């Protein structure tokens, strides 16, 4: 929706008109309005006079004076004064601000929406964890960030497609399949060794149980058969050699599994995939994170999109063969080295289907593609960008947001995590421990490219230390006032607002006015944390107001005006919390 009451753009128009009257050249200037930190500097400050002073060869303060003098008459501006080096400070009349209350109450859940995104189609991919085990706390951050960003962008007028790329075709899934089978063999009584780089979690055991229950001993094989041609580990060698040996060992086990099981390998594979994807989906749904599309990597092989994408690259001459492998000339598109698409063993790299996947995002209508990745993938960005460029798409329309590491703290000490032992903290653990609201909120409190220290005790604490409760409490307090009042909230829509005149009321009105722009900026900057800080701010102003003034007063006009104001505040608090996936409780 487009606000009737957009003070900032109305003011911008007035200033532009004034500039045009002062000088034809000045009419070309871009008018930037900013909310001063210092209340003495008014509600909006404009620096256009300082920007223009040089090219107009005029003194900035004198120029500012001329612009102010040329301002068209408007009931919006209570006062405009020159300050500092040439700022024009605007004080908005309280009457103009009061109208925001009616605006908020009329718009309701839609207050804050703008058309800044102009309906641009965005593909936003986030989490996309391998379906080889439960989501852990880093995925949780990506989930919370991606979901909040998608909500904020949608509110700002973008059309957002939320995507999860399911890596159901790669080697990791084969390892999970083999892991499940090995556990199954152990359950069936076979004394097979379990490799250290197979999946260690208990969920593998659980899947093995299910396979055993469903298919009985039909997939059992002798240990000798399973271990045929499986090379030994080299635990006394150096780290690099040990890793190579481990890789070779698990690859041999996978090859044996495929050969010994035939079609049954696909059965275990399909079972494991379904269990893991269902589990992740349930986990995310419980976290308030939903997707428009779960996109299968395997489908790119099956429906020919992979061949199509590679065919395009080959036809355009962007590939070559060397050492038996197929290479992409990534260096011609800004990457630091060329990249392998198809290995000499005939297998495609992870990169190859990923190119097809990204191509499909654009082919399905995305104007801008945004990927949210972990920090360990940032070296991968130039490669994908190069491929997008090679396919004739604008690489500027491909944006990667890096979601940095999450460190957990308990009692001031970092929580030790060891992926190898399989005892990492899952998202589900975290949700169980601190609750969904605190988890969602804490996760987006930091800029995505900054490491996040997650204080478990703080997130759990039901105290004033906890910013989630601080905001929710403001919302609940307002509910409590209305419960005490007992009147009909619909009456507030038409309440007279003239009585809202004191400093705290002016502050609240202005903060409500800021909300749509906060949403828009958070969307354009990919920075949902800005919304969290705004809500803390709004809640703070409400708490101050609550403490300073009585709402349920004898003076009827004053009472209704104040109730209308806090109803509007509550609406905005709720709207903001909804975008962040945090509940807005009526009582606490």
Partner RNA sequence: GUGCCCGUAGCUCAACCGGAUAGAGCACCGGCCUUCUAAGCCGGGGGUUGUGGGUUCAAGUCCCGCCGGGCGCGCCA
Residues 529-558 that bind RNA (CB under 7 A): 529-530, 533, 536, 540, 543-544, 546-552
Q: Return the closest-CA partner of residue 280 out of 405, 358, 166.
A: 166
Q: Is 405 helix (H, G, I), strand (E, B) or coil?
A: coil
Stretch that binds RNA, among 70-78, 117-125, 187-195, 444-452 (CB under 7 A): 444-452
Task: For RNA, give the closer residue by CB, 445 or 509.
Answer: 445
Q: Between residue 421 and residue 440, which ones bind RNA under the rule CB under 7 A? A: none
Q: Between residue 244 and residue 263, which ones bind RNA under the rule CB under 7 A? A: 247
Q: Between residue 375 and residue 394, which ones bind RNA under the rule CB under 7 A? A: 375-380
Task: For RNA, give the closer residue by CB, 203 or 473.
Answer: 473
Q: With binding defined as CB under 7 A, does residue 477 bind RNA? A: yes
Concatenating the DSSP letter of every residue in 315-334 gives HTT-EEEETTEEEE-GGGGT
Task: For RNA, give the closer residue by CB, 86 or 133.
Answer: 86
Task: For RNA, give the closer residue by CB, 398 or 473.
Answer: 473
Single residue of 16, 121, 171, 436 touching RNA by CB under 7 A:
171
Q: In the block, which residue shows the tokens 């001063």? A: 36
Task: For RNA, give the closer residue by CB, 214 or 419.
Answer: 419
| Tokens found for residue 421 | 């032992």
Q: With binding defined as CB under 7 A, does residue 228 bind RNA? A: no
Stretch that binds RNA, among 34-42, 62-70, 182-190, 303-311 (CB under 7 A): 34-42
The dihedral built from the CA positions of residue 324, 325, 326 and 331, taken in this order, carries a sign that is negative
What distance in Å separates the CA atoms of residue 579 and residue 388, rounded to the nearest whole number? 31
What distance in Å separates the CA atoms of residue 406 and residue 424, rounded to the nearest whole number? 12
Q: With binding defined as CB under 7 A, does residue 200 bind RNA? A: no
Q: Between residue 53 and residue 72, which ones bind RNA under the rule CB under 7 A? A: 54, 60
Single residue of 34, 278, 307, 555 touching RNA by CB under 7 A:
34
Q: In the block, which residue shows the tokens 């718009």? A: 107
Single residue of 65, 120, 172, 209 touching RNA by CB under 7 A:
172
Please give the angle made by the CA atoms of 121, 123 and 124, to the nearest 5 degrees: 130
What distance in Å separates the CA atoms of residue 209 and residue 182, rounded to the nearest whole number? 11
The dihedral built from the CA positions of residue 370, 375, 376 and 381, taken in this order, carries a sign that is positive
Per DSSP, what are the bridge partners of residue 136? 426
Single residue of 480, 493, 501, 502 touching RNA by CB under 7 A:
480
8 Å CB contact between 478 and 567: yes
What distance in Å separates the CA atoms of residue 28 and residue 507, rounded to the nearest whole number? 33
Q: With binding defined as CB under 7 A, does residue 487 bind RNA? A: no
Q: With binding defined as CB under 7 A, does residue 470 bind RNA? A: yes
Task: For RNA, give the closer residue by CB, 365 or 487.
Answer: 487
Q: Is 407 helix (H, G, I), strand (E, B) or coil?
A: strand
Task: For RNA, give the closer residue by CB, 147 or 169.
Answer: 169
| Least spacing, CB of residue 565 vs RNA, in Å | 12
Q: Is 37 helix (H, G, I), strand (E, B) or coil?
A: coil
8 Å CB contact between 259 and 265: no
Please give the angle made by the CA atoms of 138, 442 and 201, to the nearest 5 degrees: 30
Give, for 414, the enclosing helix (H) or strand (E).
strand 413-414
Burial 429-448 (b: 16+ CB within 10 A, else e): ebbeebebbbbbbbbbbbbb
Stretch that binds RNA, among 19-27, 38-46, 415-423, 568-576 (CB under 7 A): 38-46
Q: CB 44: neighbour CB atoms within 10 A?
A: 22
Pairing state of beta strands 413-414 and 406-410?
antiparallel
Stretch that binds RNA, among 94-102, 204-212, 338-346, 495-503 (CB under 7 A): 338-346
Single residue of 239, 323, 411, 488 touching RNA by CB under 7 A:
323
Task: For RNA, give the closer residue by CB, 290 or 321.
Answer: 321
Single residue of 202, 241, 449, 556 touching RNA by CB under 7 A:
449
Q: With binding defined as CB under 7 A, does residue 224 bind RNA? A: no
Single residue of 47, 123, 180, 360 touching RNA by CB under 7 A:
47
Concatenating the DSSP letter of every residue in 176-212 gives HHHHHHHHHHHHTT------TTS--SHHHHHHHHHHH
Task: For RNA, give the closer residue by CB, 171 or 312.
Answer: 171
Q: With binding defined as CB under 7 A, does residue 332 bind RNA? A: no
| Least spacing, CB of residue 85 vs RNA, in Å | 4
Q: With binding defined as CB under 7 A, does residue 336 bind RNA? A: yes
Q: Between residue 345 and residue 364, which ones bind RNA under the rule CB under 7 A? A: 345, 347, 349-351
| Least spacing, CB of residue 587 vs RNA, in Å | 4
Task: For RNA, give the closer residue by CB, 212 or 272.
Answer: 272
Concatenating the DSSP letter of every residue in 512-531 gives HHHHHHHHHHHHHTT-THHH
Single residue of 525, 555, 556, 557 touching RNA by CB under 7 A:
525
Give, for 542, the enclosing helix (H) or strand (E).
helix 529-548
Stretch that binds RNA, among 107-115, 152-160, 177-185, 480-488 (CB under 7 A): 480-488
């Amino acid at each position: 929706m487009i606000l009737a009451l957009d003070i900032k753009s109305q003011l911008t128009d007035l200033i532009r008109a004034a500039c045009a009257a002062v000088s034809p050249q000045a009419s070309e200037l871009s008018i930037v309005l900013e909310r001063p930190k210092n209340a003495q500097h008014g509600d909006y400050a404009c620096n256009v006079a300082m920007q223009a002073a040089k090219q107009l060869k005029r003194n900035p303060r004198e120029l500012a004076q001329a612009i102010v003098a040329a301002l068209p008459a408007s009931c919006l501006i209570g006062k405009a004064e020159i300050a500092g080096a040439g700022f024009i400070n605007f004080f908005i009349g309280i009457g103009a601000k009061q109208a925001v209350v009616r605006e908020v109450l009329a718009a309701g859940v839609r207050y804050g929406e703008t058309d800044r995104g102009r309906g641009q189609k965005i593909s936003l991919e986030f989490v996309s964890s391998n379906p080889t085990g439960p989501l852990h706390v880093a995925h949780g951050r990506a989930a919370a960030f991606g979901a909040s960003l998608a909500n904020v962008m949608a509110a700002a007028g973008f059309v957002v497609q939320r995507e999860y790329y399911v890596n159901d075709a790669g080697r990791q899934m084969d390892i999970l399949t083999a892991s499940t089978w090995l556990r199954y063999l152990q359950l069936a009584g076979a004394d097979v060794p379990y490799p250290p780089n197979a999946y260690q979690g208990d969920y593998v055991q659980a899947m093995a149980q299910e396979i055993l229950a469903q298919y009985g001993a039909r997939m059992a094989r002798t240990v000798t058969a399973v271990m045929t041609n499986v090379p030994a580990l080299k635990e006394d060698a150096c780290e690099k050699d040990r890793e190579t040996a481990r890789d070779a060992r698990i690859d041999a086990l996978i090859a044996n599994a495929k050969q010994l099981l035939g079609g049954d390998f696909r059965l275990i594979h399909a079972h494991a995939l379904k269990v893991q994807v269902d589990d992740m989906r349930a986990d995310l749904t419980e976290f308030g994170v939903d997707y428009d599309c779960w996109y299968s990597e395997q489908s790119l092989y099956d429906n020919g999109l992979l061949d199509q994408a590679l065919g395009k690259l080959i036809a355009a001459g962007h590939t070559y063969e060397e050492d038996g492998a197929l290479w992409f000339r990534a260096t011609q598109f800004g990457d630091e080295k060329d990249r392998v698409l198809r290995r000499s063993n005939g297998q495609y790299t992870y990169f190859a289907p990923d190119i097809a996947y990204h191509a499909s995002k654009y082919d399905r209508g995305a104007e801008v593609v945004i990927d949210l990745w972990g920090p360990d993938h940032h070296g991968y960005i130039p490669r994908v960008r190069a491929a997008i460029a090679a396919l004739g798409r604008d690489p500027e329309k491909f944006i990667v947001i890096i979601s940095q590491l999450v460190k957990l703290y308990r009692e001031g000490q970092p929580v030790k995590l060891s992926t190898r032992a399989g005892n990492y903290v899952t998202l589900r653990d975290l949700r169980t421990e601190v609750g969904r609201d605190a988890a969602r909120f804490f996760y987006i409190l930091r800029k995505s490219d900054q490491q996040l220290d997650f204080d478990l005790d703080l997130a759990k604490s039901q105290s004033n230390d906890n910013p989630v409760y601080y905001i929710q409490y403001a919302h609940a307090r307002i509910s409590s006032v209305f419960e005490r009042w007992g009147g009909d909230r619909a009456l507030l829509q038409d309440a007279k607002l003239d009585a809202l005149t004191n400093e705290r009321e002016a502050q609240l009105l202005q903060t409500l006015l800021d909300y749509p722009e906060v949403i828009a900026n958070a969307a354009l900057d990919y920075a949902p944390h800005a919304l969290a800080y705004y809500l803390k701010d709004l809640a703070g102003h409400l708490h101050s107001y609550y403490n300073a003034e009585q709402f349920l007063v004898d003076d009827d006009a004053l009472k209704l005006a104040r109730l209308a104001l806090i109803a509007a505040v509550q609406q905005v608090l709720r709207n903001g919390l909804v975008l962040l996936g945090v509940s807005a409780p009526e009582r606490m």
